[in-house]
Structure 1
Amino acid sequence: MEDKVIFHIDINHCYAQIEEMKYPELRFIPMAVGGHEEKRHGIILAKNDLAKKAGIKTGESLREAYEKCPDLLIIPPAYNDYIYYSREIRKLYQEYTDHVEPFGLDEAWLDFTGSTRIYGDPCMTAARIQQRVLREFGLTVSVGISWNKAFAKLGSDLKKPSGMTVITRDNYKDIVWPRPASDLLYVGYATEKKLRSRGIYTIGQLANYPVHWLKESMGIAGEVISAFANGEDRSNVAETFFRTPVKSVGNAMTLIHDVNDADELRPAMYVLCEAVASRLKDHDMEGCVISVSARSGGLEWYGKQRKIPQPTNVSEEILKTAMELIEESYDFSVPLRAAGVSVSQLHPWHSKRQLSLFADEEAYDDALRIDTAMDRIREQYGFYSVRRACTLIDRPLTEFNPKGDHTVYPIGYFRGRKMSDGII
């Protein structure tokens, strides 16, 4: 069978580069996009090349950054701009293929396999995409090209800015295998630590390590990263217009910044649960299995699910169980990067539920009325016309509309995964 042609395209230093595009003078001074020093989230979100040369690292506190570079200019994040340009650039990608899968705001996979008959040589097409993004948006992108998603992503990281790396079956052992194991998709800090304890430091060592030993010590995650290291990632690039089957309803989001505990995550989870509840009502459905999925800053996946006594499509009830599951399955020893909620085992919605000795029916009715009222107001006046007060605590974290067209959906967050305790 003919190999696929997969692109992974990365907007270099996305937040910082967009600020430099808006204000070209920033290219000549060390600059970083970051939070506010007086707030708890006073961290570096992105930096330009001059700041990188000064030793500034993404994720460190502003205080640490200023110690390294006293002249560092901190720009407050303009999330609406980042979302806008990310969306517009993805529209450009969609001119070349209908399989475009976002991975955060700044990255995306493209399946170019079926497009070669129209556009010809993949490398020339990738170069044209780079030129168009630079000409139309003033931004540089790096491209990795391979027959699988894992190697394509690794390739896009190798030459920045505006580089291109092609990884083939003939050269992958020379390009990929000498790289640190942490360069491989889904090998985060905790996984890297486990690998090092077994003397595995490079992707090549991982590829040649007995897979049954990895599976015994790390479960299915060990088997997956072994396959990735050997170029056996067979996952497909999601279709741009994929719609979740009505067997389940869910929303997932790559968070705009890492979160460090459950209380900090709760406002974003509220927004996700509101969207899931609203979608369920749109389908006249309710469900009795609630699942959560989480991705750490180290790109490791965690998840859990629970069956509740009575089916629901009310955001308060979904949130309550979702937060319990998050707290049970994730310890926040590594900050959280992404989260999602899904409701399954769906049934036709009965607005009057069966009486229960244990459920607070008055609270249910109140919560349902609030959900319904908010949905109606948003339908008429827009999503941001009404919001819960708790979502205003951290506006950058909750400034997204999961039912709108500008949200970054990590497709496949739930699809094809078995939800259970621990790593998925």
Structure 2
Amino acid sequence: MSSRRKFFTMTIICAFSLTCMIFLKSFNKKNSSFSAKFRLQCVSKRKVGFLKIHKCASSTIQNIFLRHAYLNNINVAVPPEEYNNYLGNPHHFEAKLLKNSPGHYGGFEMFLLHTRWDHQEVSKVLGPNTFYVTILRHPVDLFESLFAYGHLDKFYGGSLVEFIEHLERNNITDVQRMRLNGRYGWNQISWDFGLMPRDFARPKKIKDFIRSVEENFHLVMIAEQIEKSLVILKSSLCWSIEDVTSLKLNERKAGNKEALSKRQRETLEEWLSADMMIYKYFLRRFEEKVSEFDSVYLDQEVEKLKKANELVQRNCVLGLNKHDEISNLKSRPYSDEVIVVRVRDVSFFSLLQGNKYEKNNMAYMYFFISGGHIPPTFVANNVKPSTLSHIKQFVVTNCSKERPGSIVTKTLKNGILIP
């Protein structure tokens, strides 16, 4: 090859390489711009199906969803007031159970109840493009908590330690397989998911069931990793950190938690084998999902969430009470084993049910926060929507503008905040 041809060839190669570099640089710049634009165009999801599994921090998660729904005018599937927080448990959920639910006329966008899950029936309620999520907890810790919360010692006729001793002697009775109120007991996770008890000891059936759960649920959170779970949840829903702030609900008194030995825990794990299979599988899947996130980003978001929760705690909590110190029976939790947190907040569940008591409670909060000024639109036994909108935004988002610690002397009277 002549030197002139070599020079010509090299010139073409260099020119081509330079053109490629310019193109790639331009492409990366455009791609970066596209990514930023995509993030800015991220649309907040409104339709959510949440399976509220017992004793898995599910009340805390439910309250996050209810608060978001109330602030964003999202239509939530709530049962008539007399059904409280349950619909379909101990029987599997059926869409027809919501026939007389408040708000069904507009089409439901969120389902957040305790139930025995039937995905096909819940899908009838929520329709397409729904994000399905739930949260799990280690089955031994769940059962220990459930045992105390539900006073299962009275139901089973002995303490948790005595119950475990029966299991170790392989003396499993029909009573131990029974469920308190038809709802609480053996393999609670499996039960709430809708698995039939006859399949609790059939590994093949459980594996098939796990596959169906994975197909139906977009995210299975883990209670032991609650902050990471909530960061992943808010990213999946295109929500903000403020949207997933929370206070712990139905938290037990510290002295009432049973410390189990390694052997006792292993005994319970064997007895709760169906739950253990489900939990271990989705714990592994959750850890895989965590690994998909940039670790620096995830850690930063977790820290942001912790600080936001500290701010909520400082500005919103009035104090802690024992169960019997709350005079209004409607304000008491189900179990006397839990701490009652008095907050500048209301039951969003009751508000969404149209509970007039809660609306009045909210008006009293406004009276308390504003230094005694009663809004002109307040009417006895009723609060006009314009006032509610103003109050809910102030109370739910900010709770209080007062200095931290300046509200601890305020009290509740008959469940209503008073100055």
Q: TM-score, normalised by structure 2?
A: 0.28
Larger helix proportion of the pair: 2
Q: TM-score, normalised by structure 1?
A: 0.28
**Rg bigger for which structure?**
2
